[in-house]
Structure 1
């Protein structure tokens, strides 16, 4: 088997490059057949993956980077059914690893990739807004959660916290700050073409393929990566002080069942907000808009997971 490594050396303030310098000697020591491509600019991983998979042969692609790099690779795959993905995470959010129970330690992650025989099929989400489409692995959302992702993406606080290995806290810090700045509005949500549900004073709506987003918020605990469904969470009608109380609870999934937290399961969702808000996919800023549609591709991608999971 030959592995193709797509490496983002700048991920987590340059940690990606340092980790690759640890990984490559091990590959050579084990006489592993591999090739490596380094990204130099945003969205280059999408271009690399698209060029690699255009012949629609089977490939084993190993992503060394953050959730954003994984998102770029997902968006470049020509035929998801022909690709097996491995992941050596270097980011601060690492939401992709949680549901799949992937190792976050680089050495353990590499051992998993080289030694494990176990694969799991993962659904691939696809969202559309403003005449554009974008795939996602973890989630896509509009409103408060997307605004947090947009700000964290350019935050100096994240860079600083990354240096002391506390980058995950940047999501919570930005969330608490934006909570008292951002407006909320009416949201209309249509599931699988059925009756439209309306929600007043909505903070955000997110369509989730994984149970976690935003650096570990356990928003949809029942979401499964391979069930052919999206879980949709709507947070609405709550005073801001109560949302402050609920945010820490959401790390453990203890927000579920509280009035103002609605979770649905569907194959397709159409979301319309009363005003324009940030929109994200896998935590990456996508657009500013008032409408979002999300569903799943008809083909799944294989993920290398530990044998004991």
Structure 2
């Protein structure tokens, strides 16, 4: 099967382009059958994935970029059950790699893909905002965490830290800044269409397919990528100073013992915020709304893992 690469050369302040040039040389020297398309603007990876899978046949698609590139590709694939997906990380967050144990070294990631050592089935999430739908691989959220993603994506600091290999620190710095600035409100969540939960002074609610988001925060430690369930985290009803204290503990998943942090599992969730708030999928801002529904696709995608 031909390798079909979708490359984001701008990932991690241009690191994607450098990695791709090195990998392309290896592919050509080894006589690998491949085609490659390099993105030039946001959303083009989604367009490429849709074009590649329009024939309804089986495909082996490899994304080279960051978590945002993965998000665009999985949103473009027309039938995820007919795709084997490989990933070569060149971004700064790399949350997609963690649960799947994909090497963050691009050359090692490629060797895993080339060997086709294992294929692991993975759930994909979907959120609804009004009449629009967006898929996610890692997580989706409304409120504080989406506001963090929005600021990180525009941050000059991220570009600077990326150049010295410390890009993930951007998320922590922005999170601390947003914690002080971001407004809070009442929220309600309807779980599996049956149970309704109300949360006062809500900072954010996130639905997760992977344990990690935001550059390594292990917000939902028990999340599994193939269990057919969404893991939900809600932070509410506690002071901002307490959150500032417990936020660093989330890197190790130790935040769950604090009061005001609720976690639960479900097959679908309908989230309502009293005020409109930013919404993200896999760290990419998509909407500013009061309502966000979430469920899983009925089919899984196969991901190449070591």
Alignment of 1:1-309 (within 5 A): 1-306=1-306
For residues 161 and 242 of structure 2, the distance between their equivalents in structure 1, rounded to whole angstroms, comes to: 27
For residues 164 and 130 of structure 1, the distance between their equivalents in structure 2, rounded to whole angstroms, comes to: 41
Which stretches in structure 2 are left out of the alignment for 5+ residues?
A: none
| RMSD, aligned α-carbons | 0.7
**Cα deviation 1:110-139 (Å, max 9, x = unaligned):** 111101321000001000113211000000
For residues 53 and 238 of structure 2, the distance between their equivalents in structure 1, rounded to whole angstroms, comes to: 46
**Cα deviation 1:70-122 (Å, max 9, x = unaligned):** 10000000100000110000100000000000000011011111013210000
For residues 302 and 191 of structure 2, the distance between their equivalents in structure 1, rounded to whole angstroms, comes to: 27
For residues 242 and 19 of structure 1, the distance between their equivalents in structure 2, rounded to whole angstroms, comes to: 41
For residues 238 and 53 of structure 1, the distance between their equivalents in structure 2, rounded to whole angstroms, comes to: 47
Which stretches in structure 1 are left out of the alignment for 5+ residues?
A: none
Measured after TM superposition, the shift of residue 257 of structure 1 is 2.7
For residues 52 and 2 of structure 1, the distance between their equivalents in structure 2, rounded to whole angstroms, comes to: 12
**Cα deviation 1:23-74 (Å, max 9, x = unaligned):** 0111122211101011111100111110110111000000000100110000
Describe the SS at the equivalent of 1:238. coil
Describe the SS at the equivalent of 1:196. strand
Measured after TM superposition, the shift of residue 258 of structure 1 is 1.8
Q: How many residues align?
A: 306
Describe the SS at the equivalent of 2:150. helix
For residues 182 and 221 of structure 2, the distance between their equivalents in structure 1, rounded to whole angstroms, comes to: 26
Measured after TM superposition, the shift of residue 151 of structure 1 is 0.6
For residues 5 and 181 of structure 1, the distance between their equivalents in structure 2, rounded to whole angstroms, comes to: 40
For residues 43 and 59 of structure 1, the distance between their equivalents in structure 2, rounded to whole angstroms, comes to: 20
Measured after TM superposition, the shift of residue 182 of structure 1 is 1.0
Comparing 149-158 with 21-30, greater Cα deviation is found at 21-30
For residues 206 and 240 of structure 1, the distance between their equivalents in structure 2, rounded to whole angstroms, comes to: 18
**Cα deviation 1:219-259 (Å, max 9, x = unaligned):** 00000000000000000111111101111100000011321
For residues 195 and 75 of structure 2, the distance between their equivalents in structure 1, rounded to whole angstroms, comes to: 31
For residues 69 and 163 of structure 2, the distance between their equivalents in structure 1, rounded to whole angstroms, comes to: 19
Describe the SS at the equivalent of 1:217. coil
